[in-house]
């Protein structure tokens, strides 16, 4: 039985004032059936962990370096995230693949470091509009999975997020059939590589313009175990609407 997860990716948004949203969210907890994770900017991680306290909400990072320490100005290691209170980290987000030219091998090395540090690793995969229109979606997702997901993955330390690039921040969402096709594909690839036990226990999140208004439909799709939410995770009211929808699945 996979526990459902609502994960919020604040991206490069939020100063200390944004913690009031997290406080509001924390006031509405705990949820018996849904895990809630907030990934604020690294500058807020420690304070966010304190605000989340023992509410059941957990916090995570948005990236980490593949090395444990060293001469890497501006970077943050997985151990540092854990030390600041993180229990998870998002890796291979399309914005990092684009802005920082991260390749599958980079994501895999980071994921190994994160897993070694005891973090749950949310590995993002997703196609561009051009790739979808050329009917290459499943090839792209399959390649990203085999390149980015490390061999040491388990149902505890790995979560896969399907985020079609063209759906991120655009208000455009794939059809429910399209989401289902990709999620079923990801599940079958995981089962083939890691065996049925592990393959079936890895949680799969959908991300890309998830809102309170479309969440219930998306959560009804097979092999969707929750969402990775950008814009709608910044406001407690919106994110609560998504959590509510997930609780009602
Ligand atoms: P939006 O929910 O703003 O489309 O962002 C999705 C995303 O990139 C989450 O990682």
Interval 124-183: pLDDT, tens: 999 999 999 999 999 999 999 999 999 999 999 999 999 999 999 999 999 999 999 999
At 32 the pLDDT is 80
Dump pLDDT digits (tens) for 74-112: 999 999 999 999 999 999 999 999 999 999 999 999 999
Selected catalytic residue, list 21, 65, 163, 183: 163
* pTM for this model (two decimals): 0.98
Band the pLDDT of 31: cuts 50, 70, 90: confident
Tell me whether the omega of the peptide bond preceding residue 30 falls within 30 degrees of 0, making it cis. Answer: yes
Centroid of ligand 1 to alpha carbon of 195 (angstroms): 30
Q: Is-contact 242 9, C-beta < 8 A? A: no
What residues does each domain of the chain span? Answer: 5-247
Look at ligand 1, atom 7, and give the residue with the nearest C-alpha. Answer: 230
- What are the φ/ψ torsions at residue 132 (nearest 5 degrees)? -65, -45
Q: Which residues line ligand 1 (CB under 6 A)?
A: 9, 93, 163, 168-169, 207-210, 228-232
Question: 146 vs 65, 132, 156, CA distance in Å?
Answer: 20, 19, 18
208: CA distance to ligand 1 center in Å?
5
pLDDT on residue 30: 65
Q: Is 183 a catalytic residue?
A: no
Q: What is the CATH number of domain 5-247?
A: 3.20.20.70
Mutation to probe ligand 1, out of 165, 209, 213 (largest number of atoms < 8 A from CB): 209
Q: How far apart are CA 92 and CA 191, in angstroms?
A: 21
Find, among 74, 145, 69, the residue nearest to 111 by Cα. 145
Q: Give the C-alpha distances (Å, rounded to integers) separating 163 from 87, 95, 144, 151, 178.
A: 21, 11, 12, 22, 12
Averaged pLDDT of the chain: 97
Residue tagged active-site, from 65, 93, 102, 183 = 93
Q: How large is the average pLDDT for residues 42-47?
A: 98
């Amino acid at each position: 039985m996979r526990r459902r997860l609502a994960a919020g990716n604040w991206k490069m948004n939020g100063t200390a004032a944004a913690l009031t949203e997290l406080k509001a969210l924390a006031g509405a907890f705990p949820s018996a059936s849904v895990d809630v994770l907030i990934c604020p900017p690294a500058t807020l991680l420690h304070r966010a962990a304190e605000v989340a306290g023992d509410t059941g909400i957990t916090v995570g990072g948005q990236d980490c370096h593949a090395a444990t320490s060293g001469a890497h100005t501006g970077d943050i290691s997985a151990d540092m995230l854990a030390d600041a209170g993180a229990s998870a980290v998002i890796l291979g987000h399309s914005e990092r693949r684009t802005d920082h030219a991260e390749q599958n091998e980079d994501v895999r090395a980071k994921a190994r470091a994160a897993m070694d540090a005891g973090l749950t690793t949310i590995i993002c995969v997703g196609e561009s509009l051009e790739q979808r229109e050329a009917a290459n979606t499943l090839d792209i997702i399959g390649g990203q999975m085999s390149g980015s997901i490390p061999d040491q993955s388990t149902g505890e330390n790995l979560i896969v997020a399907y985020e079609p690039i063209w759906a991120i921040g655009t208000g455009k969402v794939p059809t429910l059939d399209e989401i289902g096709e990709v999620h079923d594909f990801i599940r079958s690839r995981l089962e083939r590589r890691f065996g049925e036990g592990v393959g079936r226990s890895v949680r799969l999140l959908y991300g890309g313009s998830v809102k309170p208004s479309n969440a219930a439909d998306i959560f009804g799709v097979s092999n969707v175990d929750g969402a990775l939410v950008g814009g709608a995770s910044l406001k407690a009211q919106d994110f609560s609407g998504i959590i509510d929808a997930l609780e009602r699945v």
